[in-house]
């Protein structure tokens, strides 16, 4: 079985996790799941980076020892990932005894080879980055990451002969165009290598200045530079060096793997790490995959600015799978993206509620009404049926290709072409009209064609939205089975997956629409109580007072077709409808008629809608119009007319 190994950066524990950490880890999780779906033996690794100056400063500020501090923050990272649906196979800490020993083996190997030497160096040291900067790397004399003035430090240290491997690394990158991707970051790395002589890397800190680190095996007065220590985690987590020559061990099984990092740590991963591997005589990683920043109001997240997003709160508020979908869909991998509650709500409502959720809701409801929730037989197929299935097949193939290239947003957009095509197919084939005319065979073919194509989407969306995918597959009568290459090929290349007569779900409400929370208005000053006004006389029954024709003309009355109907999730007396008014997308309408009608009896019915009422929120759901009814003898009847959806009543 082919193996796949993906790592996140190991996160520095001087602060608690934020959206950027969550994005990297969720992407790694989706890549692991995607490769499992391809039938590969996929492993995902994450962890925490726990040495260095910043840890000591943060621990001192908190009034605890460095070990107690890193124990606390590391546990926060470890405990967060399962809550975000992440299934990492390993979690490494750089304070683990096995990691420390392995780093010392790596240091000793390079020292014995003559690639580490002792010397004196003076440079601009940024405590935030925990690294020295050259004059040309500074921007107006400031650290390019933290925009603070570094401290000039001159001290004796150990150095790694990184410059020795400059030409070899440059040639390797040129010979392997996808070694660092996207291309813009490959070009950045090449620019670092082609911009002059690559300086050797200071890989130690004197204990007189810092004791919180891994002691050098060849000099007990020094500890390892935090980046040299941290980068080695990608192989020490696999059991290196103990199993370096063991064919059955994790190192030989999974290395070389792939790394996933944010763009601010391109140089350590694109220059330091591969030259370290070259010096140690170890294979280089397959790919370095570099992503951009999440911005809040066009600004990088920062504790000092107070704009750091708590990923767990966001996932709990918007729904875990919706949150995961937004992150993968909204950011074009490699570029920056903007985060805001408004952006999530817009994306979720458009893609999940209106498109995917509406598709499952309306089709399952119609199948329940017309075929008692059993998968209907497939009759003679028309050109429209073949076109829909071909569209879905192409979308599925494009999704797999693009996702494998880390073009997540484009991959999901490709898959959504099938979902949008299915919704359009429903409108064009009008199952309610086929039912009314008694064309049961054609009606069954239409519903069956939809169900089969819906299953493909439900299966493929699993890496991004695992819980929702499993639910949708179960709703279609095919609970998720073992993942394999054969199972995926079956989904991609065959069109029949459901058994005729199989009982499936009668409804679906996976993705309810989200609403923006309105800020509470400031409390108004209390006014003096006035005497109660006299009660108005009860309204007279019978004919209403005459109105002008111009008043009647203000009403926008239209014919609509009910595409989906269900009980309001928060109110027994209300029903929620998706109504086709001849517009680009169905409207959501909430109506207090639950006591008089069963939702499943209303799908496909023509109704009269007041279409120009302002939207109104009813128990958490926005209603975009009103369905007209007639009252008689304590009962209700729907007003209707035999005309196409969207027809105006004049």
Q: Which residues, in sequence order, are CB contacts of 74 under 8 Å at separation 6+?
A: 13, 48, 50, 93
- The strand pair at 635-638 and 629-632 is best described as antiparallel
Does the annotation count 18 as an active-site position?
yes
Does the annotation count 146 as an active-site position?
yes
Of 113, 156, 303, 493, the catalytic one is: 303
Does the annotation count 202 as an active-site position?
no
605 phi and psi, to 5 degrees?
-75, 145
CA nearest 560: which of 605, 624, 622?
605
Residue 248: how many CB atoms within 10 A of its CB?
A: 7
DSSP 162: G
Does the annotation count 436 as an active-site position?
no
CA nearest 19: which of 408, 268, 345, 344?
344
Give how far the C-alpha of residue 310 lies from the chain's centroid of Cα atoms, to the nearest Å.
15
Of 21, 291, 497, 568, the catalytic one is: 21
Of 287, 300, 374, 596, the catalytic one is: 300
Are 315 and 323 in contact, with CB atoms under 8 Å apart? yes
CA nearest 216: which of 95, 56, 103?
103
Does the annotation count 303 as an active-site position?
yes
3-class DSSP assignment, residue 311: helix
Does the annotation count 136 as an active-site position?
no
Of 32, 36, 99, 129, the catalytic one is: 129
Does the annotation count 143 as an active-site position?
yes
Are 39 and 485 in contact, with CB atoms under 8 Å apart? yes
Are 28 and 5 in contact, with CB atoms under 8 Å apart? no
Of 18, 35, 51, 54, the catalytic one is: 18
**Residue given tokens 């199948």 in the structure block:** 367
Rounded distance, CA 190 to CA 176, Å? 12
Of 54, 99, 124, 143, the catalytic one is: 143
Of 35, 126, 269, 606, the catalytic one is: 126
Joined together, the tokens standing for residue 309 give 């997003």
- Which regions of 438-524 does DSSP assign to beta strands (E)? none
Does the annotation count 51 as an active-site position?
no
Q: Which residues, in sequence order, are CB contacts of 203 under 8 Å at separation 6+?
A: 107, 116, 157, 158, 159, 160, 224, 225, 228
Which of the residues are catalytic? 18, 21, 126, 129, 143, 146, 300, 303
């Amino acid at each position: 079985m082919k193996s796949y190994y993906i790592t996140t950066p190991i996160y520095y524990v001087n602060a608690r996790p934020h959206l950027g950490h969550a994005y990297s880890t969720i992407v790694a999780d989706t890549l692991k799941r995607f490769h499992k779906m391809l039938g590969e033996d996929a492993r995902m690794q994450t962890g925490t980076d726990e040495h260095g100056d910043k840890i000591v400063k943060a621990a001192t500020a908190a009034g605890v020892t460095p070990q107690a501090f890193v124990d606390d923050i590391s546990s926060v990272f470890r405990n967060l990932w399962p809550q975000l649906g992440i299934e990492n196979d390993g979690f490494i800490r750089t304070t683990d005894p096995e990691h420390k020993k392995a780093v010392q083996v790596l240091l000793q190997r390079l020292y014995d080879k003559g690639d580490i030497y002792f010397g004196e160096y003076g440079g601009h040291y940024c405590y935030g980055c925990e690294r020295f900067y050259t004059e040309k790397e500074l921007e107006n004399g400031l650290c390019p990451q933290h925009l603070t003035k570094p401290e000039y430090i001159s001290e004796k240290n150990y150095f790694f002969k990184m410059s020795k491997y400059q030409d070899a690394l440059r040639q390797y990158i040129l010979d392997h165009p996808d070694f660092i991707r996207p291309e813009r970051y490959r070009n950045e790395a090449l620019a670092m290598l082609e911009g002059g002589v690559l300086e050797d890397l200071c890989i130690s800190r004197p204990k007189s200045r810092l004791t919180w680190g891994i002691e050098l095996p060849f000099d007990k007065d020094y500890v390892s530079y935090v980046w040299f220590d941290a980068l080695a985690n990608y192989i020490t987590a696999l059991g290196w060096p103990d199993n370096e020559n063991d064919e059955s061990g994790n190192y030989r099984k999974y290395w070389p793997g792939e790394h996933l990092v944010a763009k601010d740590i391109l140089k350590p991963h694109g220059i330091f790490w591969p030259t370290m591997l070259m010096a140690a005589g170890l294979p280089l990683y397959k790919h370095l995959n570099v992503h951009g920043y999440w911005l809040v109001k066009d600004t990088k997240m920062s504790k000092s600015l107070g704009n750091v997003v708590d990923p767990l709160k966001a996932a709990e508020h918007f729904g875990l799978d919706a949150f995961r979908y937004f992150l993968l869909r909204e950011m074009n991998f490699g570029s920056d993206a903007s985060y805001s509650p408004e952006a999530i709500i817009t994306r979720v409502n458009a893609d999940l509620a209106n498109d995917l959720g509406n598709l499952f809701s309306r089709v399952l409801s119609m199948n329940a009404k017309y075929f008692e929730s059993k998968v209907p037989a497939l009759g003679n197929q028309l050109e429209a049926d073949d076109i829909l299935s071909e569209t879905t097949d192409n979308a599925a193939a494009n999704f797999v290709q693009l996702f494998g290239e880390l073009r997540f947003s484009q991959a999901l957009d490709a898959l959504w072409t099938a979902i949008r095509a299915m919704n359009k197919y429903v409108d064009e084939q009008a199952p309610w009209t086929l039912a009314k005319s008694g064309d049961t065979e054609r009606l069954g073919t239409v519903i069956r064609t939809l169900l089969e194509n819906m299953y493909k989407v439900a299966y493929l969306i699993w890496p991004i939205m695992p819980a929702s995918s499993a639910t949708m597959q179960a709703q279609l009568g095919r609970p998720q089975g073992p993942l394999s290459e054969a199972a995926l090929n079956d989904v991609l290349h065959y069109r029949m997956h459901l058994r005729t007569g199989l009982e499936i779900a009668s409804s679906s409400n996976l993705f309810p629409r989200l609403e923006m929370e309105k800020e509470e208005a400031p409390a108004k000053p209390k006014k003096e109580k006035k005497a109660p006004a006299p009660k108005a006389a009860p309204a007279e029954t019978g004919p209403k007072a005459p109105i002008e024709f111009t008043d009647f003309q203000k009403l926008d009355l239209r014919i609509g077709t009910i595409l989906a109907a269900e009980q309001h999730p928060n109110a027994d007396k209300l029903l929620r409808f998706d109504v086709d008014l001849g517009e680009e997308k169905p409207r959501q309408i909430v109506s207090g008629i639950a006591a008089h009608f069963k939702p499943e009896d209303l799908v496909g019915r023509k109704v009269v809608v007041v279409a120009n009422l302002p939207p109104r929120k009813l128990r958490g759901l926005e209603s975009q119009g009103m369905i007209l009814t007639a009252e008689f003898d304590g009962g209700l009847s729907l007003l209707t007319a035999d005309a196409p959806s969207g027809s105006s009543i004049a």
